[in-house]
Structure 1
Amino acid sequence: MGRDTRRSRLVIAALLIAAFTLITLDYKTGRSATGARGVVHSALGGVEDGVSAVFRPIGHTVSSLAHPNRYHDRADRLAQENARLRRDLADDKMITQTGKELADLRLLANKGQYTMVPARVIAIGDVTGTDWTVTINAGKDDGIATDKTVLNADGLVGTVASVTAHTAVVRLVCDPNSRIGARLERTQLLGAVAGGQGPSTLVFTVYDASFRVQKGDRLTTFGSLDYVAGVPIGEVTKVTDVGGLSRTAEVRPYVSVGTLDLVGVVVGRPTVDPGDRLLSPQPAPPEPTAPAPAPEATLVPDAAASPGATTQGATGTSGTPGATGTQGGAG
């Protein structure tokens, strides 16, 4: 009995070894069973299929361990494709934004009859509070010279401080060393706008101290030999006095220097001062509301003065003479 059990175990072990060998050959070669292998396959097909179902996942795992770069390469390809798609989307968005900025800049140039060279901000200078400048990618070869006016679709950016062949440094309007002539829209009073109060606040000083500045007044450049007229600067937010000798005001600039990108350098001034054409239209003031008419008074006639009331009181309910006297006599 023990001998038969040992023999059975040896036979089963031999069959398992043969089946595993066939599975390995099939996995390595990938060819169909022929010849002697076909005969063995037909005899041990059931055992081979059962063992194959058990050991096939192990074979895939061993293969993945033997070729680890296969999956890393695929992940790298997917990451590269994702990055390329993101770049394409970013490029499309940038192209759309640049097109809009160019269109707005062209519209401003047409209104003011300016000849402008478009440029992009490529570097920011020292913005520690003592020097506010940016560098643009246009220079002498593009017709740009020092002291030229720089603007964007919102208004005045600054003036050109220095140039090279292909670049220029622009002194921003908020720079402490900047001082630009300005004109009030409402009264046409002249003055000067200076920086030094930070990127979001300018100081406007009226030349004639006998005139007052009001909150909400808007400013444009009045033009000189260095810069052109009519460029929007900003709006008065607060009125102050300095020693009673001049009228000054704080001004919020229209241009946000923290988001500068596309700008235009005016290289040709208009033949006629554009005035206030470049300022956006002011909203119409609300129409005054007419007072509501007073309600009509209702006149109530005096009962004592009413003939009908007298007759009714005299005649009683029946309306016949003497009825009231009869009732009173009966009482």
Structure 2
Amino acid sequence: MGRENRRSRVVVIGLLVVAFILITVDYRSSDSSSGLRGVLRGGFATVEGGLTAVTRPIGRTVSSLAHPNRYQQRADALAAENAELKRQLADDAEVRRQAAGLANLRLLADRGQYSIIAARVIAIGDITGTDWSVTVNAGSADGVMPDKLVLNSDGLVGTVLSSTAHTAVIRLACDPASHIGARLEGTRLLGAVAGTGSPDTVAFTLYDATRQVKVGDRLVSFGSADYVGGVPVGVVTKVLDTSEGLSRSAEVTTFAAMGSLDLVGIVVGNVPADSGDRVLAPRPAPAVSAPTAPMPASAPASPASPAKVPVTPALAPAATASVG
């Protein structure tokens, strides 16, 4: 027992001596990064760095277990911010698309000198699904009246079927009940386009029985007391033969895509003068073929190769006579 007390006393005294020496060295040393203090600090720093690298993941794991909702809430917040940014980008793209569509619609109306009310499609068809119609967000309060032509930036869409104060039902040109006067581009040849019940397709019948319709012919609306003239209708894509042998009927693909309508213009006010064909887009210029390069002149036959000169049997006797 006395021996253990003596050993403990020696250890304590030794530790006090070491502490006294370290304090003295620290006080006298002007550079803390050198000498014994620097060595001890570097050693302790290395040990501390190793312990931190080992204990940091453990601490984070313990923290996540203690607060299980913290990281989930942060992830939810980031997901919400990402969704909001995507929505803003989509809204900006939609605004730019609508602005471009309205500008193109105004450009077409200006070329035809049409007075229009711009409207957006807010519903499609009726509850029975038996007709081709759309409902737009403009009505009689905006000057929209039945039987007025409706167009978009590509061409004819249809006619106003009915209207309320703030809405109107548009019968599309492809509806079987639709019949609109039309004429061939560059002529005064009149006819009518009727709906076929198929989107983007109408049937055209030419009134003059002595004339024919050809693939590639373009149609515009025929002006009347109610309808404005010169609105692009479509292009003939198929000619239908008749029993008399004259092709006066044809299938026409409309310029306006009836299945993806959004922004339309309803013609209002007095019917202006017929705009002719100036609303139609210019036809593409025909491709010009490159000039054919002239064939090189044949080189004269060499005397060293007489076998390459063709000789016909009719000329053989004459050649023999001249030699003799």
**Aligned positions, number:** 264
1:34-73 map, 5 Å: 57-73=57-73
Q: Give the 3 Å change call, closer, same or farther, for CA 53–253 of structure 1 in structure 2.
A: closer
SS in 1 for 2:231: strand
User: 1:192 offset after TM fit, Å?
Assistant: 0.4
Q: In the alignment, which residue of structure 1 is the partner of 2:141? A: 141
> 1:147·1:160 contact (CA, 8 Å) conserved in 2?
yes
Q: Distance in 1 between matches of 2:186 and 2:74?
A: 68
The C-alpha deviation readout for 1:208-229, integer Å capped at 9, x for no partner, is 2111111111100012233211
Q: In the alignment, which residue of structure 2 is the partner of 1:125? A: 125
Q: Distance in 1 between matches of 2:108 and 2:81?
A: 41
User: 1:72 offset after TM fit, Å?
Assistant: 1.6
User: 1:59 offset after TM fit, Å?
Assistant: 4.2
Q: What residue ranges of structure 1 are gaps of 5+ in the alignment?
A: 5-44, 310-331
Q: Distance in 1 between matches of 2:71 and 2:290?
A: 76
Q: Distance in 1 between matches of 2:289 and 2:55?
A: 91
Q: Give the 3 Å change call, closer, same or farther, for CA 86–54 of structure 1 in structure 2.
A: closer
Q: Distance in 2 between matches of 1:51 and 1:89?
A: 48
Q: Give the 3 Å change call, closer, same or farther, for CA 193–128 of structure 1 in structure 2.
A: farther
Q: In the alignment, which residue of structure 2 is the partner of 1:210? A: 210
Q: In the alignment, which residue of structure 2 is the partner of 1:185? A: 185
1:216-235 map, 5 Å: 216-235=216-235
The C-alpha deviation readout for 1:276-315, integer Å capped at 9, x for no partner, is 11001123445699998899999xxx999x9xx9xxxxxx
TM-score normalized by structure 2?
Answer: 0.70
Query: Larger deviation: 264-273 or 68-77?
Result: 264-273
User: 1:112 offset after TM fit, Å?
Assistant: 0.8
Q: In the alignment, which residue of structure 1 is the partner of 2:153? A: 153
Q: Give the 3 Å change call, closer, same or farther, for CA 52–230 of structure 1 in structure 2.
A: closer
CA RMSD of aligned residues (A): 3.6
Q: In the alignment, which residue of structure 2 is the partner of 1:282? A: 283
Letter in 2 for 1:224: S
Q: In the alignment, which residue of structure 2 is the partner of 1:255? A: 256
SS in 1 for 2:233: strand
Q: Distance in 1 between matches of 2:164 and 2:262?
A: 20
User: 1:51 offset after TM fit, Å?
Assistant: 8.3
TM-score normalized by structure 1?
Answer: 0.69
1:13-32 map, 5 Å: none
Kindly, what percent of the aligned residue pairs are identical?
Answer: 61
Residue 195 (1) aligns with residue 195 (2): yes
The C-alpha deviation readout for 1:226-262, integer Å capped at 9, x for no partner, is 3211100001111113443872111111011122111
> 2:132·2:197 contact (CA, 8 Å) conserved in 1?
no
> 1:113·1:269 contact (CA, 8 Å) conserved in 2?
no
> 1:238·1:251 contact (CA, 8 Å) conserved in 2?
yes
